[in-house]
Each structure stands twice: as C-alpha cells, then as structure tokens.
C-alpha cells in the first residue's frame, strides 16, 4: 500500500512538472520555433534598425506607443502562427503576415455596440471583417492562431473562428516577415511561435 501511495505521489509530482513546463512562456510547442526569446530583441528590427521603442521585459515584448512598426528578420510564406497579445483601453495594433498588409487586426477602440467591420479585432485589415467578436477586454491576454495555407488565411481568436480560409490576392508578395503595427498606443506580445507549412 505504501509503495502504491508513493508511486501515486510521484506521478502527481511529475504531472505537475509537465503542466508547469507546458505553461512556461516563450517555449515553443513541438514542431514550432519561437520568434521571440523573451530576453532580448534578437531577430527583430524597427525601421530596419535595432528596436528602440520595442523592448523585452519580463518575458514580454513591450511597445511604448512610439516609434515605428516592428518586423522579424526572417521571411515566411505558408505557416501556422501563434501569438498572445494584450492592449490597454482603446489600444490598437495588428499582426502583419507577409511583411505588410493584410494584418490581423487588434482594436480595443472598436466598441461591441458598433457594427463588425474589417477593423474589428480578429479581422483582416483592410480585407475582411471577422465572423464574430472574440477578443477579451482591455488588459487581458488574448490568443491568435493564424494559418496561411497556399495563401488562404484562417484566424482563430481565443479559440473562436474569426476568419475562415480567406483567399487573399497576394500579387507578387510570395513571402514576407511577421510584423507588429505601431498605431500610437502601447501593446504587449508573448509566446510568438511559428511552424512552416510545406510549400
């Protein structure tokens, strides 16, 4: 009996350790790579130079609301992207998918009473409004899962489908960097993971 209880206790401890590891920020899940290491701005540029207004603080990528857009140095075409983000009240930003628009919209200045449009959080600006409102209130962490598959864009916002396989006309833009928009308000990002799809 004692041996059984000891084994049960050990199993619970191991499960707790696994859960803690799974919840650790900026550590990518299997098959993904992290675009932000949580410690510094390695791999990111602001206006083509080392970032000034975008900084790493306590495992979070922090924007002070000034300066320029932020872009990664690597380019991607088709992929799955995971990002956690939050804004303050009336905060605004966006996630660029191939070095520029379209961007997955982040917009707390768009109140729920307004009609959903392409500037509603979880939508694709300037192309398509989201299917529903799924963003959490200002100050709370949100999660995007963005899929670009043969150019078609799908977005889940906090687990809710907000863009369903939108067939974007990319023109000559076959690939580009992941980026974050400066819209004049602070924004916070973490857990930025990407997995390339087969071309």
Domains along the sequence of the chain with CATH? 29-196 (2.60.120.560)
Mean pLDDT lowest for which of 18-27, 42-51, 65-74, 168-177?
18-27
Rounded to the nearest integer, the mean pLDDT of the chain is 91
Mean pLDDT for 148-166 is 98
Locate 92 and state its tokens: 């605004």
Locate 191 and state its tokens: 């857990």
**For the whole model, what pTM was predicted?**
0.88
pLDDT band at 198, cuts 50/70/90?
A: confident
pLDDT band at 22, cuts 50/70/90?
A: low
Residue 45: how many other CB atoms lie within 10 Å: 18
CB–CB of 83/143 below 8 Å? Answer: yes
Tokens 């804004």 -> residue: 87
């Amino acid at each position: 009996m004692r041996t059984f209880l000891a084994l049960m206790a050990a199993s619970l401890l191991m499960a707790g350790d696994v859960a803690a590891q799974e919840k650790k920020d900026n550590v990518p899940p299997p098959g993904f790579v992290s675009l932000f290491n949580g410690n510094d701005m390695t791999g990111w540029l602001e206006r083509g130079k080392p970032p000034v207004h975008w900084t790493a603080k306590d495992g979070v990528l922090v924007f002070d609301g000034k300066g320029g857009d932020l872009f990664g140095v690597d380019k991607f075409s088709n992929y799955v992207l995971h990002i956690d983000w939050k804004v303050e009240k009336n905060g605004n930003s966006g996630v660029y998918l191939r070095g520029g628009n379209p961007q997955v919209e982040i917009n707390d200045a768009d109140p729920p009473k307004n009609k959903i449009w392409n500037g509603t959080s979880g939508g694709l600006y300037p192309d398509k409004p989201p299917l529903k409102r799924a963003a959490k209130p200002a100050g709370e962490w949100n999660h995007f899962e963005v899929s670009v598959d043969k150019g078609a864009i799908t977005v889940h916002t906090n687990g809710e489908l907000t863009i369903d396989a939108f067939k974007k006309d990319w023109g000559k833009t076959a690939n580009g960097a992941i980026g974050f928009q400066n819209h004049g308000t602070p924004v916070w990002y973490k857990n930025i993971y990407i997995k390339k799809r087969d071309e």
